[in-house]
């Protein structure tokens, strides 16, 4: 039995597959595959090659065309690849056909994100949420797991046990889904009671795309040790800390990061996590200003907040983080070609966004602790506006012993 016990986790070599369509040009498709590569690395895989094909729409049976699939198969065989990851969700039929053709493990974007969530989940709450999402994703894909037992031909004597096994598994999974939903409802009640017990203090929630530095900022403002790492979905559980700026206390929560094409199953499973956002009085939208597609990430987060949380009308400030990592290409004086996003300097972005947001934005570097005092001052003013309307008699405010002391205390 020793040969079946894995003592060392080997890095899987993988290829990435995407398509170029009318709605997704080549630059976008490449950008999305770069994000998929980051997801793969977060999951522990090693991306070695990207495959792109221009199609009007995904092939309904194999996602890509027959010629491209053959090209991928040849590369896999010649380079000992054990995993292929597709940037879009695959139907059960596509999964079955691609696996049959390539003879390697196939993942789509949703299954990869689910794998990362399962790896990152630490608490019982997060584990239950991920388990529910996994079962909901697995349910319509059961048929491909039992192809060796399925009935291949009709006729007397050819009715195998496959369909019975699939129905049994479906019933087991449905029972587990029902049980997990009951468990999560109980946890939701407990979380609601916890939120109620926090009193009427002003609540501030950090939101944003994944890997923009929310947890690093949380640690900086609350002097806590929330897990932060340069990987996608480092934080799954919502963390709430009491923060005091000057004489003003408030609650600050760090939430799970959003991402393009966030799987529906995950959104459903993590509703209780998003309750912190729903009940927040002020949203702090953290943005990675060094990312080339930061504007698209802002749109994705805003759409998700509107669709999932109904938080479009909440007061919000935008914190442009990672100014230390920002770079741009300065155009030569004799270059007459139109300027692109890569040619815009940080100073121009600051002027543009501060005019657009009516000064409800700020540029910082949480890693280098740049402009943090200005952020604290902005937070103080915004939270105090909410606080004084709710508590006209200065309830919960701390006594100011030193007007010059504006440090954060625990």
Percent of the chain having pLDDT more than 70? Answer: 77
> Per the domain annotation, does 127 fall within a domain?
yes
Query: Any binding-site annotation on 236?
Result: yes
Query: Any binding-site annotation on 323?
Result: yes
Query: Any binding-site annotation on 215?
Result: yes
| pLDDT of 345 | 85
Answer yes or no: do 211 and 284 share one domain: yes
Query: Any binding-site annotation on 220?
Result: no
For residues 20-56, b (16+ Cβ closer than 10 Å) or e, as one string? bbeeeeeeebebbbebbbbbbebbebebeebbbbeee
pLDDT band at 359 (very low <50, low <70, confident <90, very high): confident
Least confident window among 61-75, 160-174, 208-222, 393-407: 393-407
> Per the domain annotation, does 133 fall within a domain?
yes
Least confident window among 60-74, 104-118, 216-230, 276-290: 216-230
Query: Any binding-site annotation on 4?
Result: no
Answer yes or no: do 213 and 89 share one domain: no
Least confident window among 208-222, 249-263, 390-404: 390-404
| pLDDT of 264 | 67
Q: What is the pLDDT of residues 177-186, one digit of tens each?
A: 899 888 888 8
Query: Any binding-site annotation on 324?
Result: yes
Query: Any binding-site annotation on 388?
Result: no
Q: How far apart are CA 58 and CA 60, in angstroms?
A: 6
Q: How far apart are CA 22 and CA 29, in angstroms?
A: 11
Query: Any binding-site annotation on 254?
Result: yes
Query: Any binding-site annotation on 363?
Result: no
Answer yes or no: do 356 and 378 share one domain: yes
Answer yes or no: do 262 and 377 share one domain: yes
> Per the domain annotation, does 113 fall within a domain?
yes
Domain that holds residue 285: 200-330+339-390
Query: Any binding-site annotation on 175?
Result: no
Res. 320: pLDDT tops 80 = yes
Query: Any binding-site annotation on 313?
Result: no
Res. 304: pLDDT tops 60 = yes
Res. 401: pLDDT tops 70 = no
Query: Any binding-site annotation on 322?
Result: yes
> Per the domain annotation, does 205 fall within a domain?
yes
Q: In this structure, what CATH number is given to the domain that contains residue 228? A: 3.40.50.300
Query: Any binding-site annotation on 209?
Result: yes
pTM: 0.77
Query: Any binding-site annotation on 256?
Result: yes
Res. 63: pLDDT tops 80 = yes
Answer yes or no: do 188 and 226 share one domain: no
Query: Any binding-site annotation on 352?
Result: no
Between 35 and 399, the more confident residue is 35
Least confident window among 64-78, 278-292, 340-354: 340-354
* Mean of pLDDT values over 395-400: 60
> Per the domain annotation, does 71 fall within a domain?
yes
| pLDDT of 163 | 52
Answer yes or no: do 194 and 263 share one domain: no
Answer yes or no: do 205 and 295 share one domain: yes
Answer yes or no: do 32 and 127 share one domain: no
Answer yes or no: do 125 and 114 share one domain: no
Answer yes or no: do 204 and 55 share one domain: no
Query: Any binding-site annotation on 314?
Result: no
> Per the domain annotation, does 384 fall within a domain?
yes
> Per the domain annotation, does 274 fall within a domain?
yes
* Mean of pLDDT values over 371-391: 89
Answer yes or no: do 110 and 207 share one domain: no
Q: What is the pLDDT of residues 3-46, one digit of tens each?
A: 444 444 567 899 999 999 888 888 888 988 998 998 898 888 89
> Per the domain annotation, does 277 fall within a domain?
yes
Q: How far apart are CA 116 and CA 234, in angstroms?
A: 9
Give me the chain's average pLDDT, please: 79
Answer yes or no: do 43 and 135 share one domain: no
Q: In this structure, what CATH number is given to the domain that contains residue 38? A: 3.40.50.11060
| Tally of structural domains, the chain | 3
Q: What is the pLDDT of residues 69-112, one digit of tens each?
A: 999 999 999 998 989 999 988 888 898 899 999 999 999 988 88
């Amino acid at each position: 039995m020793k040969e079946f016990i894995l003592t060392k986790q080997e890095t899987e070599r993988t290829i990435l597959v995407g398509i170029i369509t009318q709605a997704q040009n080549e630059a976008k498709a490449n950008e999305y595959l770069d994000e998929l590569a980051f997801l793969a690395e977060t999951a522990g895989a090693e991306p070695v090659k990207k495959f792109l094909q221009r199609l009007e729409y995904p092939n309904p049976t194999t996602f890509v065309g027959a010629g491209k699939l053959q090209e991928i198969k040849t590369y896999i065989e010649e380079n000992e690849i054990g995993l292929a990851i597709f940037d879009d969700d695959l139907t059960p039929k596509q999964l079955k056909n691609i696996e049959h053709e390539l003879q390697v493990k196939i993942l789509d974007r949703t299954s990869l994100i689910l794998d990362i969530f399962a790896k990152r989940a630490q608490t019982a709450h997060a584990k239950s949420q991920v388990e529910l999402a996994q079962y909901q994703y697995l349910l319509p894909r059961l048929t491909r797991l039992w192809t060796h037992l399925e009935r291949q031909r009709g006729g007397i004597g050819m009715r195998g046990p496959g369909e019975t096994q699939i129905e049994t598994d479906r019933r087991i999974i449905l029972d587990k889904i029902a049980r997990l939903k009951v468990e999560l409802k109980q946890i939701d009640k407990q979380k609601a009671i916890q939120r109620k017990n926090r009193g009427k203090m002003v609540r501030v929630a950090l939101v944003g795309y994944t890997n923009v530095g929310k947890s690093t900022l949380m640690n900086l403002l609350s002097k806590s040790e929330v897990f932060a790492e340069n990987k996608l979905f480092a934080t799954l559980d919502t963390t709430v800390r009491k923060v005091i700026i000057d004489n003003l206390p408030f609650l600050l929560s760090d939430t799970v990061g959003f991402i393009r094409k966030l799987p529906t199953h995950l959104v459903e499973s993590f509703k209780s996590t998003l309750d912190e956002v729903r009940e927040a009085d002020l949203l702090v939208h953290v943005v990675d200003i060094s990312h080339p597609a930061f504007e698209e990430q802002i749109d994705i987060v805003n759409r998700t907040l509107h669709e999932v949380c109904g938080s479009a009308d909440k007061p919000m400030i935008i914190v442009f983080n990672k100014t230390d990592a920002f770079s741009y290409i300065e155009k030569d004086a004799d270059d007459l070609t139109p300027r692109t996003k890569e040619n815009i300097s940080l100073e121009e972005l600051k002027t543009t966004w501060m005019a657009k947001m009516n000064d409800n934005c700020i540029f910082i570097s949480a890693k280098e602790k740049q402009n943090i005092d200005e952020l604290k001052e902005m937070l103080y003013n915004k939270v105090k506006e909410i606080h004084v309307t709710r508590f006209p008699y200065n309830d919960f405010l701390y006594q100011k012993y030193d007007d010059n002391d504006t440090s954060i205390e625990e």
